Structure 1
Amino acid sequence: MTRADGHHEFSNESNEQTTTSEPDGAETRTSDSAASHDYEQNRENASVTPETRSDVLARDGHRCQVCGREGPERGGLATLHVHHIERDPVGVAENDLENLTTLCRSCHSWIHQQSTRADAPVTLTEADLSVLLPQDIEILRYLADEGPAQTGKIADSLTAELSPTTVRERLAVLMGLDNQVETRDRQIVDQDVQTGAWGLTGQIEHSARGHIPSDPQALIQRVEDEQVRQALERGCNRQTVMDVLDISRRTTFHKEKRACAYDFPLDAFRRGGRGGQHPGGDTTSETADEADVNSSSSDEQQRLDSVGHGVGDSTPSDPTGLGESVQGDQEDRDKSTPDEGNVMVREQLQTAIAALQRINAEL
């Protein structure tokens, strides 16, 4: 089963995976549940007949249904297993084709080693779990033990081989969980706006939520993310957002998740919020750029001028990783010369504002 955001979903403890596994024979991480996986695999091998296994592999095109790696029959190198989606399915027999799926060895191992709800260091409801993936619980466990921590260290600690970009996206989901789940009234994960480290809320001293970045590139992304979220919440068609902003469907989901995490105060920004501030007026160690912004459309050019002003005077770092694209793993953005920065920022803001105005017109 596939969710709206493209993730594969298994009903067995919400088994999900969105990563490419390593070649067979490569060194992999192990966990205390490896023996359990061996037992489960032996049980599956014994209970599924060769004929049924062949039928499942043929139906799935000899391809792992999680990461997409192909078996020798399709010219690939992956060792493929047949996995029971449910051990006690309702309405079908355990070995019926609809209760079986094809997984490569690495993904199958990950499925059986994943963390469960009981392993979480915080209380999670059924509504929370409808949004989260099993690796999110593993991330929560790591943060509880080792947080605050940088994205790379978190990625290195996980059982599944996930890129820093994927881990950063999952961290954004965890950080914005209270804005995605109606019944959750408390944030559980936060990011330090000064260091970029992630942790449980009690571990973070300077919250990135609600922060107005002084860096123009981060500011552009914040505004666009929040406008995408608001447009989708107000019923704007996702395809329209994709067309207007010229972005992929996956990127719209990523922007929506990131907006939920950072909860950018768009109204306060329009009223004249300054970079480096939270809506309440508390400043961080970042240099504040002038951002004389009014809510009326007649002042859009003034917004461009004031945001662009001072780019050459200060090139603050982006510890929160806000300037990264969905596709890239780049940890630091390239630095521009002052003149190039002014032109680039103005052009990008002009494009973003024009696109967002078209979205509003669609509504």
Structure 2
Amino acid sequence: MVEAESQPRKDELSGASTDGDESDVTSPRECNETVNPETRDDVLTEYWHRCQVCGRRGPEKGGLATLHVHHIERDPEGMDEHDMANLTLLCRSCHSWFHQQSTPDDSPVELTEEDQSVLLPQDIEILRYLSENGPTRTGDIVSGLPSDHSVSAVRERLWVLTGLDNLVEGRDRQIVDKDIETGEWGLTDQIESSARGHIPDDPQLLLQRMEDEQVRQALERGCDRSDIIDVLGISRRTTFNKQKRACAYGFPLSAFNRGGRPTDSERSERSSVTADTDTGEADGQQRLDAVPDKDPDSLGRTETWGAADSESEAQSTGVDDRRGSQTASDDVGSEELQAHLQEAIDALRDVNEVL
């Protein structure tokens, strides 16, 4: 397996991104490595002194990782336990994690076989941590897991856990949620203000949620992933992240699909309402015109101390002029705002049609 040198690193399994010094290094003997020195050398050569889970390298290849030979099966069928086909190479951290990793039986929530088909061992660790310490933030979860993972890798697994009911056909309830008020993750019974279906106030976050949901729906309808990459100008990995994030947050894109454009039935309803309003206003104006003129004194005119009648009339006229100009300005501002909103809505609708 010389090609192991070119294999991509599995960040979802380890989250480690660089070679790092390992404290409390465990020797191969202490880790129950039962192969002889010759077999160990053969395995190191076969896998180029590189951990087959996280990609860390041993000292012979310029790294700092302590490498262990790991038996894939303790009682393999059709081969000897120490056969090369039953051996692989792991760093100390990954080897320790592999033997201590959680199983579905350790989960604080019930998981079906369908659930397990999309979950990883670290997902069980996340569930256990949330059960014991939630609700809590992403960074605290990363620090509290028994295995090494990056913040981005844990956040991605939190999206999967939160959107599990949208990823697994047979599941109808969430098991993990995020509190929209605090930004903390927890089991559903630990969260007070769910982020599911929330419409963000921040424009950038709102556009991200809308784009995420469009990507999810496009993939669900069978659109080719490469077409989505070309249309949106994003990487292939980003499409997977958007899909997982959309399943987690469940943005109500249908609330924006019409883009502010009324349907034919809505137009007819608005027309009838407008006609009724115009008729009512005309009747009201006729009633006002029918009111007879009265003596100004009988209307309770307010006395103006130290001001001539002409000045009072001038002030009254100035106020009326300002009110008229303010009304005209408000109308213009409202029209400009509607125009900008319509442009944004049309652009989003065009993207939706392309997808």
The whole-number CA distance in structure 2 between the counterparts of 1:352 and 1:158 is 40
Structure of greater relative contact order (alpha carbons < 8 Å, 6+ residues apart): 1
Seen in structure 2, the aligned counterparts of structure 1 residues 178 and 88 have a Cα distance that, compared at 3 Å, is: farther
- SS where residue 270 of structure 1 aligns? coil
- 1:180-329 to structure 2, matched below 5 A, reads 180-271=167-258, 292=260, 305-306=340-341
Query: Alpha-carbon deviation of 1:260?
Result: 0.8
Query: Alpha-carbon deviation of 1:293?
Result: 6.9
The whole-number CA distance in structure 1 between the counterparts of 2:222 and 2:77 is 36
The whole-number CA distance in structure 1 between the counterparts of 2:348 and 2:49 is 44
- SS where residue 31 of structure 2 aligns? helix
The whole-number CA distance in structure 2 between the counterparts of 1:106 and 1:271 is 52
Unmatched tracts of structure 2, length 5 or more? 265-335
On the 8 A contact 1:21/1:106 being kept in 2, the answer is: no
Report the TM-score, using the length of structure 1 for normalisation: 0.67
Task: Confirm or deny that 1:115 pairs with 2:102.
Answer: yes
Task: Confirm or deny that 1:174 pairs with 2:155.
Answer: no
Query: Alpha-carbon deviation of 1:123?
Result: 0.8
Report the TM-score, using the length of structure 2 for normalisation: 0.68
The whole-number CA distance in structure 1 between the counterparts of 2:261 and 2:238 is 27
Equivalent pairs: percent with the same residue?
59
Residue 146 of structure 1, aligned match among 118, 127, 133: 133
Task: Confirm or deny that 1:19 pairs with 2:25.
Answer: no
- 1:65-144 to structure 2, matched below 5 A, reads 65-90=52-77, 92-144=79-131
On the 8 A contact 2:19/2:63 being kept in 1, the answer is: no
One-letter code of the match for 1:210? G
- SS where residue 41 of structure 1 aligns? coil
On the 8 A contact 1:7/1:18 being kept in 2, the answer is: no
One-letter code of the match for 1:156? S
Query: Alpha-carbon deviation of 1:176?
Result: 0.5
Q: Which one has the largest radius of gyration?
A: 2
The whole-number CA distance in structure 2 between the counterparts of 1:253 and 1:84 is 33
- SS where residue 254 of structure 1 aligns? helix
Q: Root-mean-square deviation (CA), in Å?
A: 3.5
CA deviation vs aligned residue, 1:49-89 (integer Å, no higher than 9, x gap): 43433333222222111111112232222221111223344
The whole-number CA distance in structure 2 between the counterparts of 1:181 and 1:114 is 23
Larger proportion of helix: 2
The whole-number CA distance in structure 2 between the counterparts of 1:82 and 1:241 is 42
On the 8 A contact 2:19/2:57 being kept in 1, the answer is: no
